[in-house]
A and B are shown apart, each in its own frame.
Chain A
Amino acid sequence: MENIEKQIKELQEKVSLLEKVTKDQLSIVVFSGELDKLLAALIIATGATAMDMKVKLFFTFWASAALRDKKKKVTGKDFMSKMFGIMLPKGSSKVKLSKMNMGGMGTSMMKNLMKKKNVASLEEMLTTAGELGVEINVCEMSMDLMGIKKEELIDYPHLNICGVATFLVDAEESKIQLFI
């Protein structure tokens, strides 16, 4: 009898530990910088808030450029950063489709189609995500590599600059982890 009671107590402790570890949370690594993939990430993110899930997006590599604000200008960049700055899309309105871009024609056709079919644009999705409390964490190393400065990022209400540890801790606590 005593043995069973001991086992039950141990199990209870383990269960309560598990409950503490996983939250009703979604973590997405947003890696790709293309319109279609970014849209997918944001639709899942905003949809999850409707389920009352906490959402954390970890923007890294090509996706970081989508967070640039086209109206903001920064000075004091070195040569390589300037070159990268010219080649990378300047914000969410400038990103292209991953397929059928056709020199930009495909992307603009897709945008027109989205408008016609009442699909929110990437810029609108980002605004909505901000209103719904979706957290955006931007990888510091990617920004540094691509010469993106903090001052040129969009004014987003829940934006932080961070490293891989932030993602790992968030992901560990999340029920769902995705890489897009």
Chain B
Amino acid sequence: MTQEELNNLTVNKSVDARGTACPGPLLEAKKSIGTIASGEIMEVLSADEGTKRDIPKWANKKGNEYLGTVEESGYFKIYLKKG
């Protein structure tokens, strides 16, 4: 997905994990993905550069779709679609 498409997504659940370091964002993501339905979109906000690589790997293992990442100043917005 392009950056513009990602920014225009309707997000069903937003998780702000900017206050935690590894493995915080992953644990937050795991907790929150359970609260949305299959096909819905989740956004994870993280200030941790490692999360950018971690979340796609995690999503892949869990059967969720990684849509892309948008870089903001000082943090990342990572988009997922629940499988």
A residues touching B (Cβ–Cβ < 8 Å)? Answer: 43, 46-47, 49-52, 117-120, 128, 132
Contacts and interface: CB of A to CB of B under 8 A. Distances in A.
Contacts of B30: 49-50
A52 B61 CA distance: 10
Interface in B1-37: 19-24, 26-27, 29-30
Given A50-B58, A51-B58, A51-B61, A118 B29 contact: no
A169 B27 CA distance: 28
Nearest to B54: A47
Contacts of A52: 62
12 contacts: A43-B22, A43-B23, A46-B23, A47-B23, A47-B27, A49-B30, A50-B26, A50-B27, A51-B61, A117-B21, A118-B20, A120-B21
A120 B17 CA distance: 13
Contacts of B24: 118, 120
A168 B62 CA distance: 28
Contacts, number: 32
B26 A47 contact: yes
Contacts of B61: 51
Contacts of A43: 22-23
Interface string B45-79: 00000000000001001100000000000000000
Contacts of B19: 118
A43 B21 CA distance: 10
Contacts of A117: 21
Nearest to A46: B23
A50 B23 contact: yes
Contacts of A50: 23, 26-27, 29-30, 58
Contacts of B29: 50
B22 to A, nearest CB: 7
Contacts of A118: 19-21, 24
A120 B20 contact: yes
